[in-house]
Each structure stands twice: as C-alpha cells, then as structure tokens.
Amino acid sequence: MNKLFIPLLILVFALFPSCEKETDYSKTITGFWAQEAILEDGAEVTMTVCEQSTRLLIEQNGIYRLYSSCDTMERAGTWIVTNEDMLDLSMDHWNGSNKYEPYPVRFTILELTGSVMEIRIKTFIGNRKELVMFTPVDQDILTGKTPEEILELDRYNKTLKTYIFRFVKQD
C-alpha cells in the first residue's frame, strides 16, 4: 500500500493545480498609454513638457513604440510580461559614444487595469540618466569640471532611487 500512496499523491497534485488565480496582464497591457505621473521615492515629480507628452503604444505582437514631442528619435523596443507581475522592456541605453543600444529593463507591475498602468523600478540615478525610461534625460557634462566636482557627481549618480511611472489608457 505504501508503494502506491506516493505515486497516487503525486498524481493528485498534478491533476489539481493550485486554486490561486493567476493574473494574465499580457491581454490588458496592449493599447495606447499616456504618461500621467512620475514618483521618485514616493514623492511626485513635476513632469517636464517632454514627460507630459510621452505616449506609449504597446502592441500585441510584443513590440512597443514610444512617442514624445521633445524626442526626435523614433524609439521602439520589445516587451514581455514575466512572473505574472514583471514587465520586461528593451529600452534605449546611452553607450557613451554618441549612440543608443537596446538594454533590458525590468519593471514591477503595481497596477494594471483597463485604464491605468503603474510600474515601478529601483535603480541608480546614473542608470536613470543613461536609459531612456520613456523620456530622454540630460546627460552629465563633465567638460570644465574639477576632479572634486566629478567625484561629487559620481557619488550622486550612485544614489539608489525608486521610480514609479503611471500611465492612463487613451481611446
């Protein structure tokens, strides 16, 4: 009897998966989104005109397109929802040689409904400057800076911040 009990138990668990409902965000995320707010460490940031004009078109085929009135480049990348609540985007990353390259970025989905998308990332200020997280950020200009100023800027860029981006779906 003991020899049959364990295989029978395994069969029962295999046939009856967990009752916990999984959320499939991949169907809700597609559409045209307008950036509504940015929070840095819980405090709302005054958005620039560029950030206010940011639009995100997420297509069902795994491609997204980024639009901003202040950005002359056409930006597009890939997206995928993983682990039920993680949004992976390939975003433009400044390589320091006057060009951008694709770079994988993982956001945690905090809220995703038919009308609101709120995603969070924890990253260093320097990384935030190098990545085009929806709107390009001015790069540091080191020309004419003293070694002490460069060291101070380096310390500042190594500050860890939590950013929350809130989008609303457009019709």
pLDDT for residue 84: 84
Ranges of residues in the chain whose predicted pLDDT is under 50: 8-9, 11-13, 15
pLDDT for residue 72: 76
- DSSP-derived letter for residue 144 is T
37 SS3 class: strand
| Cα separation, 20 vs 30, whole angstroms | 24
| Cα separation, 20 vs 5, whole angstroms | 26
pLDDT for residue 41: 95
Rounded to the nearest angstrom, the gap between the alpha carbon of residue 99 and the centroid of all alpha carbons in its chain is 21
pLDDT for residue 1: 53
pLDDT for residue 74: 75
Which domains can be identified in the chain, with CATH numbers?
22-170 (2.40.128.280)
